[in-house]
Amino acid sequence: MTPTLVFDIETIPDTAGLRALLDVPAGALDEDIANIAFHQRRQHNGSDFLPLQQHRVCAISCALREGNYFKVWSLGEKDASEKEIIQRFFDGIEKYTPQIISWNGGGFDLPVLHYRAMINKVQAPRYWDLGEDDKDFKWNSYISRYHTRHLDLMDLLALYNARANAPLDDLAKLCGFPGKLGMDGSKVWDAYKAGKIEEIRNYCETDVTNTHLVYLRFQLMRGHLTQTAYDAEIELVRETLSTYPATHWHEFLAAWKA
């Protein structure tokens, strides 16, 4: 069985980079720099959502299904550098050559990772292979929108129509899964400023677990899992999470309806 790796990133404004892009006083605080960038963005297009290259990755969480086990974790220690956690992500692809699965990964997570990997001098030869090293990648690479080495579930389920996109939180809850607990992406910057990196990582971990569960339901729908196999996969997730001591997993299991 090909390993599957569900991933999700959380980001904050790249205040160091914004210092180089914006004409700000030398002594300006990071929060002031971010507020200037937000203000300029709102003036430009009515939203304070920054261009993707101006995001800095503060957390990457993964859910790996391989062999007989399932695992959810965040890459690196909570004080790890952006470069380290991005390199760890691409090192995992180098090691496992998994099918990677995301929710809006094609529209957000992977482009951000591309920009930040370049900025941080991260290497990712397996990920960027288009058939030069492995001929199989000519017909099925991580880069092409319509290849399956990266499956953006949101994009596929909406038939590549942005007007039909569904929020992960909605679809997860409609399927009986827990959905988001206690945080969403709009709250990450405030949480980071408050020193709550552990809470951000916990939130990111529950997001990848929701995505993995939605992916299993998708595999059931398309006939790649029988009902019996699907039930076994769901039970594996439940059993695995029940062994994790962190409070957010107790909350996740308590919110799981079906």
What is the band of 25 on the pLDDT scale with cuts at 50, 70, 90?
A: confident
For the domain bounded by 4-255, which CATH number is listed? Answer: 3.30.420.10
pLDDT of amino acid 184: 80
Report the sign of the C-alpha dihedral through residues 242, 215, 6, 210, in that order.
Answer: negative
Tens-digit pLDDT profile for residues 160-180: 999 999 999 999 999 999 999
Q: Where are the domains of the chain?
A: 4-255
Instruction: Tell me how far CA of residue 251 lies from CA of 178, 192, 208, 215, 257, in angstroms.
Output: 9, 22, 15, 21, 12
Is the predicted pLDDT of residue 186 greater than 90, yes or no?
no
The structure's pTM equals 0.95
pLDDT of amino acid 249: 97
Per-residue b or e along 140-160, where b marks 16 or more CB atoms closer than 10 Å to that residue's CB: ebbeeeeeebbbbbbbebeee
Eight-state DSSP code of residue 50 = -
Region 148-171: mean pLDDT is 96
Region 92-104: mean pLDDT is 96
Strand partners of residue 151 = 101
Is the predicted pLDDT of residue 132 greater than 80, yes or no?
yes
